[in-house]
Amino acid sequence: MIGKGLPCGYLKPGEVEALLHEGLAQIPFDGKRVLVVIPDRTRTMPMPLFFRAIAKSLLPRTQA
């Protein structure tokens, strides 16, 4: 399990990216096609940050 807890405050963008990269690195996506489905109830989260971090982590490993 990958994670980081804070008693208060928020993770910095670099911390979010590092945690996503670490977690996604454990899943065998190499050479596969990946579809990311974004739930409708994500309007309060920093979706652009998550999408960029996921893409940065997976694009070098997956098929177009």
Q: What is the three-state SS of 24-62?
A: HHCCCCCCCCCCCCCCCCCCCCCHHHHHHHHHHHHCCCC
Average pLDDT for 56-60: 95
2-43 pLDDT, tens digit per residue, is 888 888 988 999 999 999 999 999 999 999 999 988 877 767
What is the H or E stretch that residue 10 is in? none
pLDDT of 59: 94
Residue 32 to residue 14: CA distance in whole angstroms: 26
Query: Is pLDDT larger for residue 38 or for residue 56?
Result: 56
pLDDT at 1 over 80: no
